[in-house]
Structure 1
Amino acid sequence: KSEELISAWQMKTMPDLISRDSVSIPDMVEMGMLAPLSKLFPDDIAAMKGRWLEPCWNLCNYKGVQYGIPTYVDIAPMLAYNRKMFAEAGLLVPTNWAQVIEAAKKLNTTDHYGIIFPATLGLNDLEIFIGIAYGNGGRFLSPEGDEVVFNGKGFVDALKLYIDLFKKYKVTPPGILEIDYMKTIELFLRERTAMALGMSWVPVIAQNLGVPEGFEYRMASFPMKEKPTGKYPPAAAIMDATTTYMMISTSKVKKEAWEFIKWVTRPESMRMWAGVRIQGRVPTTHEGFKTPELAKTYPDLVREYEKGTIFKGAISMPSFPGFTEMIKVFGHAFQAALLGKPVQKALDEAAEECQDILEEM
């Protein structure tokens, strides 16, 4: 998608509006691609801002300027687990990495794998892993934004966890490097695995694929390591506003385009992202957390919202100029380590290459 957008921008064939993930905003702004909504329509932005939860609204803000209006957020990392398999094995939901390993070993049988995680070069797959690394005190960039640091202990130990599950304990399918997030959830729904890593979008995939009759599953936040080893504060989760409406800077009909954005993000339209028509999306507005449909899909999140603790400790998924290029480099290092290359060496080399990209930006 990123390559298609860049090509369209270079060929001057862009539409007036796009729907894109919020982590793409910095790259697109630096290319001159996006219109600054809060500068063009300050009164409207000020009037509507209060409908959104502040952490969600801020995902679309870059250098103090609002460039997009979010509809829902995806949250990572999440663990989906088969309730029947857990009950039969006498297991509780894991609360740390050691318990994840032990549960996966106990649940690994000739009929199904203990756990599965997606490990292709796709952005969703990599962001799930990054969420685990951030929970272990890792970061992609330093807080100052001038140094690539994903070769630190937070990422290294998270990648070793993946490798242990994959190669040491052999509790995952053998072909995970070719299994993306959609196939991961499909295998989980077919009861080919007892646990699956994903994001908060698992219910929407289950809705699209169809949940087998009698199949019961639950979702929980993927647990942190017993003692996080990274140097930064462990993140409770990472978020991305995956369907965010943005205006292209070259639009000749900015006023009309803005009226459409306001219409498509009005309360009546936003209800569909709150479980009314589409399950498995975490809303970004206050009214979204008040629908009875959402309470059925995400009862824990609704309780957190009511207590005022929703998104506490959660931060944005990596979002900065150059990320689109860097994630490709990181992805190849991620897969190389899963295939046997020493983890530290793989991440050191990738970090050095990404540092060059960062400095060029």
Structure 2
Amino acid sequence: MKSKHRRVKAGELERRRLALPTLKHAAGKAAGIEYAELLSGPGTTSARVRCIDYCPETYQVQEPDNIVDFLARHRPEWSKVRWIHVEGLEDRAVLRAFAEKYQLHPLAVEDLLDGHQRPKVEDYPGTGDFPGRLFIVARTARFEDGKLVHETVGFFLGRHTLLTFQHGPGLSFAEIQRRIANDRSRLRENDVSFLLYSLIDVMVDRLFPILERYSERLEAAEEDILRRPHLQNLETMHDIKRELVLLRRAIWPMRDLVAQLQRDRHECLSETTATYFRDVYDHCVQILDLLETYREIAAAMTETYVSVMSNRTNDIMKVLTVIGTIFIPLTFLAGVYGMNMPIPENQYAISYPLFWLVSLVLGGLMLFWFRRRGWL
């Protein structure tokens, strides 16, 4: 018996791939990553490390080349907050050095290495050799070469230290560094949890320009559909809807993440920071509302395209029908007077011009009648 194979289009395969979850663990493998396993991974790219120590009076920025020597030194006594930012997780030796220095939980390290990890908050209380820390995975997006790229950042929040890890150098926190350099900045006056709020707030606010860009794309696509409907318009609308769905999948967990930070109290989160997280939550709600609105607009524009093409087809068929209707009696007259048999009217010289006169008058009367009825 021959087996039957079902043909699946490329778009359907893409939708199925996006809908399927990724298997995180191999069969029989223990959860979490031990520190010794970090050296077995790829290590071709060196990580970039930036450390900023600050207090209300002063601040200090350093980019150490020797990670071992840097981690051997303690935080300065005058430093109220230490922020260490690591770009590039391919160099597992650097990641292992930080994991051993700050006793990062193996489960958190495993989630950190997963570039497609869902945004979440995990509270790892101090047990044994592991000090209590708050682990956060946040996501944002940006455009790179006209394509939507998602960025994932991992946060390890302590009492005075904040560790941030990102996979590549695409996401920049230069505005936060400028605020730290400002003597009158509110960052310099608050604790390390306020720095966490500022970073997450920047990641969320960067989504508004992306939504503005989608708004412009929808307006341009709508104008093209109404003026020059083409199959390319339909493909553009499908691309926009797919990207909006992917963006929604990243932002929806961010709203739950911020709500949890606002609701649940942690020893490393101050009351002031929890209050400021309300504003971030409002921004997440606004972004989700805009996403839903744009998705509905994209769906409505797809229906508009189908309607425009149907109306265009109807107009073409109407014109062809009118032309065919006009030529039906003319064809009858031409057939009658074109037969190879003697017709009395052929004996008169005026019969041929009279035939054309009757045909033109008949066609004109039919066009006039069609216009009066509103069919043209």
Shorter-chain TM range is under 0.3
Specify the structure having the higher radius of gyration (Cα).
2
Higher helix share: 2
Q: TM-score, normalised by structure 2?
A: 0.22
- Relative contact order, higher structure (CA 8 A, sep 6+): 1
